[in-house]
Chains A and B, each alone.
Chain A
Amino acid sequence: MLPMNLFATLAGADAFVVMKQTLIVLAPELIMILAATAMMTAGAFVKRTRQAWLSTTFIVLGVAFVALLAVSAQTTDPFSSVALNDSFSFAARLFLLGTAFILVALAHDQVDEARAAEFFGSLLYVNAGAMLVAAANELVFLFVALELVSIPTYLLLYLPRRNAATREAAVKYFYLSIFASAMFLFGAAYLYGLTGLSNLKAIGFLSARNLPNIPNLQVGLIAVMFLLAGLSFRVAAVPFHFYAPDVYEGSPTYIAALLAWIPKAVGFLAIIRVLTSVIAPGGDGAGRLIEKAALLAWVIAAATMTLGNLSALLQDNLRRLLAYSSIAHAGYMMIGVSVAFVNLPGAGAFYLGSESILFYLAAYGLMTLGVFGAILALSTAERPVETVDDLAGLAKSHPRIALAMAICLFSLAGIPPLAGFFGKFALFASAFSATRGDDTRMFQVLALVGVINSAIGAYYYLRIVVAIYLRPNSAGPLPRRGREAWPACIATGVCTALVVVFGMFPRTLGVPCRTAAVAANTVPAEPDVQPAQPVPVARLSAD
Chain B
Amino acid sequence: MHGSFLVRNCWLVPFFPLAGAVAAAIGGKRLGASAHIPVVIGIGLAFLVSLGLLGAAGADSTTVLFDWMNAGGLRVPVEFRVDGLSTMMLSMVTFVATLVAVFAVGYMAGDPAYPRFFACVGLFVFMMTGLVLSNNYVLTYVFWEGVGVCSYLLIGFWYAKPAAAAAAKKAFLVNRVGDFGFAIAIFWLWTVANNHDLSYSVVLDPANLKLIRPEAIFGISLLLLWAATAKSAQVPLYVWLPDAMEGPTPVSALIHAATMVTAGVYLIARSMPMISSDPRVLAIISLVGGITAALAAAIAITQTDLKRVMAYSTVSQLGYMFMALGAGVGSVAQLAVVAAMFHLFTHAFFKALLFLSSGSVMHAMGGVIDMRKFGGLRRKLPVTCATFAVGGLALAGVFPFAGFWSKDEILAALKLASEVSGGAEGTGWGWVYGLVYWVAVVTAGLTALYTGRAFFLTFFGPERLPTAEDLAAAGHGSHDDAHTNEHGHGHDDAHGHDTHIGHESPLIMTFPLVALATCAVGVGLLFGPTGIFEGHLEHTLGFENLGHAEHGTDWNSILIGTFAALFGLALSYPLFALPSRIPSILATRLGMLYRASLNKFYIDEIYAAVIVAPLSFLAQLSKFADVYIVDGLVRLIAKLPRALSRSALAPYQNGLIQFYAAAGVLGLAALLAILLLI
Contact = CB atoms under 8 A, between A and B. Distances in A.
A179 B660 CA distance: 11
A356 B676 CA distance: 29
B650 A311 contact: yes
A456 B655 CA distance: 25
A396 interface: no
A442 B660 CA distance: 30
Given A229-B668, A242-B653, A313 B663 contact: no
Contact of A242 (B663, B671, B672): B663
Nearest to B675: A292
Contacts of B663: 239, 242
B586 interface: no
A469 B136 CA distance: 44
Contacts of B657: 171-172, 175-176, 243
Contact of B660 (A183, A243, A311): A243
B32 interface: no
Interface in B619-662: 638, 641-642, 644-646, 649-650, 652-653, 655, 657, 659-661
B646 to A, nearest CB: 6
A225 B672 contact: yes
B672 A309 contact: no
Contact of A222 (B659, B667, B672): B672
B649 A225 contact: no
A246 interface: yes
Interface in B180-224: none
B645 A313 contact: yes
Interface residues of A, number: 32
Nearest to A293: B675
B428 interface: no
A309 B642 CA distance: 10
Contacts of A243: 657, 660
Contact of A313 (B642, B652, B659, B676): B642
A285 to B, nearest CB: 19
B646 A233 contact: no
B641 A225 contact: no
B649 A176 contact: no
B664 interface: yes
A248 B608 CA distance: 63
Contact of B642 (A175, A183, A314): A314
Contacts of A359: none
A112 to B, nearest CB: 28
A245 B650 CA distance: 11
A314 B645 contact: yes
Interface in A123-177: 171-172, 175-176
Contacts of B667: 238-240
A171 B660 CA distance: 13
Contacts of A183: 668
A456 B643 CA distance: 13
Nearest to A292: B675
B27 to A, nearest CB: 26
B649 A310 contact: yes
A485 interface: no
Given A222-B672, A314-B642, A239 B653 contact: no
A246 B655 contact: yes
A309 B667 CA distance: 20
B671 A299 contact: yes
B480 to A, nearest CB: 29
Nearest to A307: B649
A459 B666 CA distance: 32
Contacts of B646: 314
A221 B666 CA distance: 17
A296 interface: yes
A175 B649 contact: no
Interface string A228-269: 010001000011101101100000000000000000000000
B664 A239 contact: yes
Given A239-B668, A310-B649, A225 B675 contact: yes
A514 to B, nearest CB: 31
A189 to B, nearest CB: 16
A243 B652 CA distance: 11
A296 B678 CA distance: 12
A311 B671 contact: no
A243 B657 CA distance: 8
Interface in A452-468: 456, 459
A541 interface: no
A295 interface: yes
Interface in A277-316: 292, 295-296, 299, 307, 309-311, 313-314
A311 B664 contact: no
Contacts of B668: 183, 225-226, 229, 239
A229 B641 contact: no
A175 B661 CA distance: 9
A530 interface: no
Interface in A188-242: 218, 221-222, 225-226, 229, 233, 238-240, 242
A172 B661 CA distance: 10
A221 B676 contact: yes
B664 A295 contact: no
A176 B676 contact: no
B671 to A, nearest CB: 6
A245 B660 CA distance: 12
A311 B645 contact: yes
A242 B649 CA distance: 11
Contact of B641 (A233, A295, A309): A309
Question: Which one of B659, B663, B664 has the highest number of Cβ atoms from chain A below 10 Å of its Cβ?
Answer: B664
B664 A296 contact: no
Contacts of A240: 664, 667
Contacts of B649: 307, 310-311
Contacts of A175: 657, 661
A309 B671 CA distance: 22
Contacts of A309: 641
Nearest to A312: B645
B675 A313 contact: no
A454 B668 CA distance: 26
A158 to B, nearest CB: 16
B645 A176 contact: no
B675 A310 contact: no
Contacts of B661: 175-176, 179
A447 to B, nearest CB: 19
Contacts of B652: 242
Q: Identify which of B638, B646, B652, B667 gathers the most chain A CB atoms within 10 Å of its CB.
A: B667
Contacts of A222: 672
Interface string A174-187: 01100100010000
A205 B554 CA distance: 105
B400 to A, nearest CB: 67
Given A240-B664, A314-B650, A218 B676 contact: yes
A233 B663 CA distance: 12
Contacts of A221: 672, 675-676
B645 A242 contact: no
Given A295-B675, A296-B675, A229 B645 contact: no
Residue from A238, A242, A292, A295 with most neighbouring chain B CB atoms (10 Å): A242
Nearest 7 A/B pairs, CB to CB = A239-B667, A242-B660, A310-B645, A240-B664, A292-B675, A239-B664, A313-B642
12 contacts: A172-B657, A176-B657, A221-B675, A239-B664, A239-B666, A239-B667, A242-B660, A243-B657, A295-B675, A310-B649, A311-B649, A314-B645
Interface of A: 171-172, 175-176, 179, 183, 218, 221-222, 225-226, 229, 233, 238-240, 242-243, 245-246, 292, 295-296, 299, 307, 309-311, 313-314, 456, 459
Given A239-B666, A296-B671, 16 more contacts: A172-B660, A175-B657, A176-B657, A179-B664, A183-B668, A225-B671, A225-B675, A226-B668, A239-B663, A242-B652, A242-B653, A246-B655, A310-B642, A310-B649, A311-B653, A459-B638
